[in-house]
Structure 1
Amino acid sequence: MDALLILGGLLLILAGLVWLVMRAFATSLLWGWASFLPPLTLLFTVRHWRAARPALGLAGLGIIPLIVGLTLLASHDAQRVEAIFSLQWLKPEVQAPAELAIELRGELNGRPFAPQQAELLDGVLSLREGQDFFAQSELLIRLPHATQGAVRLDILPADRGTLPEVEISWLLPEQELPEARRLSRGYTLHLDLQPIAPNKLAGDFHLVLPPKFQTSLSGKLELFSNGLRYHDGKVNRAFDSVDTVTHVIQDYLERRFATRDVKLQPIGNLSFAQQRLDLNIQAQINGELQQLPIMLQKPDKGGWQVAADSFPAIPVAAAAPALKPGTAAVVPARVSRPLDRRVRFSLEGMLRSPNRYHNLSMRVVTERGNTAEGRFQGIDQEGRIILRQRMSGQGEVSYSLLPQEVTRIELLEP
């Protein structure tokens, strides 16, 4: 309503000014041309009041809805009114410097592809173009094994064995959901990425898919190796990601218990729609497993923090005391390697013991040939399998599948 009043008022004022110019031309050609200059327009109004009075009346009539509309707008959005009168919208928009130096040239599905986001998380390299929930174009490369540090791969079309899986997806203007294609061999891939502190990888990237996919990409690539972002050498706590929240909780527990011996268990996927998170986390503190309720909040102009956090920083640890003569050194207990749950994984076993596979990454193929991939969240009351997948941006997608629709299910991690 306020926008209509403001627009209507401006149109009436504009109509009044146009009518005033027309009245000036009707008086004389000289006054007509002079009315385009504001000082001479005012002079024309004084000298020929009778001719100018109807046009000024129409312009004055437009001031009433304009003021009423601005008043209504200020009552519920004062910042927008302030922005209008400050004339900030006239200044050219300053583009923020890019976080990543991505210099790639090529195409995806026959269209130019210029990704703005690049990550390597949990063994999945993603290049994403577009800021919406569904990417305009996206390239995923699922590495056979999650790697730490440098990444180097050279794959030719004739190679066989366990190779990275390549997936391309795109969203056309007339589509509601993106379309995707996958292949596990028959492509050319060269990766030579070296770590850059604190959490980036950079190097050469070269990919060529078979001709029918119309996809090739080559150049220099820089990407993030985790979900943290840094500002002035410190973790940016305002960035919404699971890794940011994990860092905040890790720091809080270390200061709360005055120890660096804190091993936080994975907290799973999170929804950042609200500025508050209530979590029950598990952590091994000084060798003892504990379950703690944690409430995090994010002020309007701040980053994530634990509510009522007043614990001081941990002092610099003193050197470990030397052992007294005759005192045997304590040998840490040998920890056995956990069993690989992928060996005997099956749909029936998962339905019998869903808690055993909670928050593990899975891939499901349905009867219709659709593929869903995400972290297992359990079985709902109707017996549906719930998977959630974190997107490259800040959102997530959830899948709900009936067991009888599943033709194949894979567990992607131990």
Structure 2
Amino acid sequence: MDALLILGGLLLILAGLVWLVMRAFTTSLLWGWASLLPPFTLLYVLRHWPSARPALLLSGLGIIPLVVGLTLLASHDAQRLEAILSLSWLKPEVQAPAELAIDLRGQLNGRPFAPQQAELLDGVLSLREGQDFFAQSELVIRLPEIDSGPVQIDVLPADTGALPEVEISWLLPEQELPEARRLSRGYTLHLNLQPVAPNKLAGDFHLVMPAQFKTTLSGKLELFRNGLRYQGEEVDRQFDSVDTVSYVIHDYLERRFATRQVQLQPIGSLNFPLQSIELNVSARINGNLQQLPITLQKLKGRGWQVASDNFAAVPSAVIASAAEKPETLVAALPERVTRPLDRRVRFSLEGLLRSPSRYYDLNMRAVTERGNTAEGRFQGVDQDERIILRQRMNGRGEVSYRLLPQEIIRIELLEP
């Protein structure tokens, strides 16, 4: 509605100005040409007011819907109004630099093919043209098992055996679903991709499919080899991908348990876009497998972050000790290797919260302010900083205690 009012007001103002110029030409040819210039138009209005008045009234009527339309627009979309008034729409659009340097020439299904997206994930190389859910055109090559190094593959039409599978798909304007073709042999493929820090591959790409597929592609290719994106040397936490979420969780666990010995298990697939995620993740921390509830939020300007994450960076002493070889430790501290470690010595609630992984699965007893006693094996600290104790009952059942540190008046470690 606001757009119609603004457009209608502008049309009335324009019609009034055109009528004013026509009235000036009816006065005299000289006044007509002069009224095309704004200063002389004002002079004509002052000198010939009776003739100019109807046209000015028409333009004045156009101001009313124009003001009403701008007011309505400002009430529900102030940013759009600001962009209109600032005339930013007149400036030429600046194209953002491409993330990937893709220089491929050729066609797919007989049409020019210029992919904007390229990645190699879990052995599947995909080139996509178009940003919609279904790509306008897409090339997918399912490669055999590859490692983290270079990717070098050469296939000739006469080759047999376990070869990469090539799939092409395209979506025509009159189609609702894309059409696809697959080929497992009888094509020519050359890949020579070298690693480029931090997470890319770049090199030569050459593909020729049989004539009936009308598909040839050749040139230089650069692609991502995981779902992470970088800003400089830092991971871009605002990018939506499973790899980004996994990176955030892995970093959080390292800082929470103050150790680099963290092996995060796969978290599965996620349906983006999302603003928050609740997961039960499995991770092997210092050799012990733990189940941890994790809540993630996507914050504006900061990207994905674990809720209530206030843990500091991993101390440099921990990093150095993790990198040190076991033989060096044995040579430096032989008495600590041969003497059994009793963790009950100097055990405290503060030490437990500071290094929970050190006491994982050990038997403990806690006494609360209300005089209740909870005994069980320590299972870690949840995201609300509650201490988890799990006790196995007679038979197959078990009971779990979750205690806030401020509720505990005494806690004991019952085994070394």
- TM-score tier after normalising by the smaller chain length: 0.7 to 0.9
Secondary structure at the aligned position of 1:6 is classed as helix
C-alpha separation in 2, matches of 1:221 and 1:240: 23
Letter matched to residue 105 of structure 1: R
Secondary structure at the aligned position of 2:14 is classed as helix
Corresponding residue number in structure 2 for 1:70: 70
- Report the Cα offset of residue 278 of structure 1: 1.9
- Report the Cα offset of residue 144 of structure 1: 2.0
Corresponding residue number in structure 1 for 2:25: 25
User: What are the Cα deviations for residues 90-139 of structure 1, in whole angstroms up to 9, with x where unaligned?
Assistant: 11011111111111110000011111111000100001111111111110
1:222 aligned onto 2:210: no
- Report the Cα offset of residue 273 of structure 1: 2.6
Q: 2:329 aligns with which of 311, 322, 332?
A: 322
Q: Is the 8 A contact 1:104 1:220 kept in 2?
A: yes
Structure 2: runs of 5+ lacking an equivalent: 339-416
- Report the Cα offset of residue 35 of structure 1: 1.4
1:179 aligned onto 2:179: yes
State how 1:62-211 maps to structure 2 within 5 Å. Answer: 62-211=62-211
Corresponding residue number in structure 2 for 1:311: 311
Secondary structure at the aligned position of 1:115 is classed as coil
Letter matched to residue 329 of structure 2: A
C-alpha separation in 1, matches of 2:25 and 2:274: 61
C-alpha separation in 1, matches of 2:306 and 2:239: 15
- Report the Cα offset of residue 243 of structure 1: 0.7
Corresponding residue number in structure 1 for 2:286: 286
Corresponding residue number in structure 2 for 1:45: 45
Letter matched to residue 13 of structure 2: I
C-alpha separation in 1, matches of 2:298 and 2:214: 44
Letter matched to residue 108 of structure 2: L
User: What are the Cα deviations for residues 327-382 of structure 1, in whole angstroms up to 9, with x where unaligned?
Assistant: 47xxxxxxxxxxxxxxxxxxxxxxxxxxxxxxxxxxxxxxxxxxxxxxxxxxxxxx
Secondary structure at the aligned position of 1:8 is classed as helix
C-alpha separation in 1, matches of 2:196 and 2:307: 33
Secondary structure at the aligned position of 1:207 is classed as strand
User: What are the Cα deviations for residues 10-64 of structure 1, in whole angstroms up to 9, with x where unaligned?
Assistant: 1111111111111111111111111111111111111111111111111111111
User: What are the Cα deviations for residues 134-193 of structure 1, in whole angstroms up to 9, with x where unaligned?
Assistant: 111110000122432100001001111110000000111111111110010000000000
C-alpha separation in 1, matches of 2:281 and 2:20: 72
- Report the Cα offset of residue 81 of structure 1: 0.6
Q: Is the 8 A contact 1:6 1:65 kept in 2?
A: yes
1:232 aligned onto 2:232: yes
C-alpha separation in 1, matches of 2:301 and 2:36: 47
Q: Whose helix proportion is higher, 1 or 2?
A: 2
- Report the Cα offset of residue 8 of structure 1: 1.1
C-alpha separation in 1, matches of 2:47 and 2:266: 81
State how 1:345-384 maps to structure 2 within 5 Å. Answer: none
C-alpha separation in 1, matches of 2:155 and 2:73: 60
- Report the Cα offset of residue 299 of structure 1: 2.2
C-alpha separation in 2, matches of 1:238 and 1:268: 19
C-alpha separation in 2, matches of 1:176 and 1:21: 53
Q: Is the 8 A contact 1:123 1:147 kept in 2?
A: no
C-alpha separation in 2, matches of 1:53 and 1:274: 59
Secondary structure at the aligned position of 2:134 is classed as coil
TM-score normalised by the chain length of structure 1: 0.77
Q: Is the 8 A contact 2:240 2:273 kept in 1?
A: no
Corresponding residue number in structure 2 for 1:277: 277
TM-score normalised by the chain length of structure 2: 0.77
C-alpha separation in 1, matches of 2:112 and 2:247: 37
Secondary structure at the aligned position of 1:191 is classed as strand
- Report the Cα offset of residue 268 of structure 1: 1.4
Letter matched to residue 158 of structure 2: A
- Report the Cα offset of residue 4 of structure 1: 1.1
C-alpha separation in 2, matches of 1:64 and 1:300: 40
C-alpha separation in 2, matches of 1:182 and 1:38: 67
Kindly name which structure, 1 or 2, has the bigger radius of gyration based on alpha carbons. 2
* 191-200 or 298-307, larger mean C-alpha shift: 298-307
Structure 1: runs of 5+ lacking an equivalent: 329-414
C-alpha separation in 2, matches of 1:74 and 1:256: 47
Corresponding residue number in structure 2 for 1:300: 300
- Report the Cα offset of residue 301 of structure 1: 2.5
Letter matched to residue 200 of structure 1: K
C-alpha separation in 1, matches of 2:302 and 2:55: 53
Letter matched to residue 308 of structure 2: A
Indicate the RMSD between aligned Cα atoms, in angstroms.
1.5
Secondary structure at the aligned position of 1:16 is classed as helix
Percent sequence identity is: 77
